[in-house]
Amino acid sequence: MDASALRWILAIIGIVLLVGIYLFGLHQNRLRKRAAIETFTREDIDPSFIEDEQLREELNNLNQFMQQGELDDGLSHIKINPAIEANLTPIILPLPELFTADLLGNIEEQNLISYLLKHSDHRLITGEEIENALMHSEFEIGSEGFLEFHQDGEHRFTITSLSPPGHFSDMDQLDFSTLGFNCFIDIESNPDAAKSFEQMLIKIDELVRLLDVKVYQPNHELLTMANITQVRKRLKG
């Protein structure tokens, strides 16, 4: 046998060995994957692999269901984390007591149109925040300390504080704060209630943007377009 033929034989043997090693490796990988799958469905799972006792117990339960052929019926009873299915009630902050100024108590209900401006989380509004807002909204403090809006020489509407004492006379004090505003119109004493209502809506919109508050009806429900439409019809009638 000459040297050339010997080299070809050795080359063929080498190729066969490489192919054999490759196929053997694929076979071993399949065996390992099958063993891993079977491991998670057997009771003899390595305890050191799972540190959570609760999880290990539930996996054992799963294994029993699978062995008994009751997987579909039993999965609904497995709770790896019982807290996930707990009926967790969201935390709702209690509604604080809102102060009503005496000025409002003197107005009959059928003559009163009022809206509450406050934060949904009942956060306090500071005196500094109010002063900054008033610089852009043309309000003035009346003789009794309430905020008033005037136009064309007419008093359009009034704002009281939702915190005692109800007025804003001490707004320049560092510790001044309020839960919000009560913007209202006394229909009986207002010379043009319909026009005043529209002006109040415009100014309320300004305060909402300046103070990042929400607008509520007296029953503490959010103000809706349906309510505004109802009031407009009432004033036109």
Q: Are 149 and 183 in contact (CB under 8 A)?
A: no
Produce one character per residue of 141-153: b if its CB has 16 or more CB atoms within 10 Å, e if not: ebeebbbebeeee
Domain shared by 42 and 130, yes or no? no
Domain shared by 146 and 185, yes or no? yes
Domain shared by 112 and 68, yes or no? no
In the chain, at which residue ranges do the beta strands (DSSP E only) sit?
112-118, 125-126, 140-141, 147-151, 154-161, 177-178, 180-186, 214-216
Question: What would the pLDDT profile of 70-86 be if each residue is shown by its tens digit?
Answer: 545 544 544 444 444 44
Q: Are 177 and 163 in contact (CB under 8 A)?
A: yes
Contacts made by residues 40-49, CB under 8 angstroms, sequence distance 24+: 41/66, 41/67
Say how far residue 146 (Cα) sits from the centre of its chain: 34
What's at 58, amino acid-wise?
A: E
Q: Which residue segment(s) compose the domain that 108 sits in?
A: 102-236
Would 207 be classed as within a structural domain? Answer: yes
pLDDT in tens, the chain (237 residues): 567 777 777 778 878 777 778 777 777 777 776 665 555 444 444 444 444 555 556 656 655 655 555 545 544 544 444 444 445 555 555 778 899 998 898 899 999 999 999 999 999 999 999 999 988 888 999 989 999 999 888 899 999 999 999 999 999 898 999 999 999 999 999 989 999 999 999 999 999 999 999 999 999 999 999 999 999 999 987
Domain shared by 108 and 183, yes or no? yes
Cα–Cα distance between 98 and 103 in angstroms, integer?
15
pTM: 0.59
Domain shared by 106 and 220, yes or no? yes
Please report, for the domain that includes residue 228, its CATH number.
3.30.1400.10
Name the β-bridge partners of 148. Answer: 140, 158
Indicate the number of domains in the chain.
2
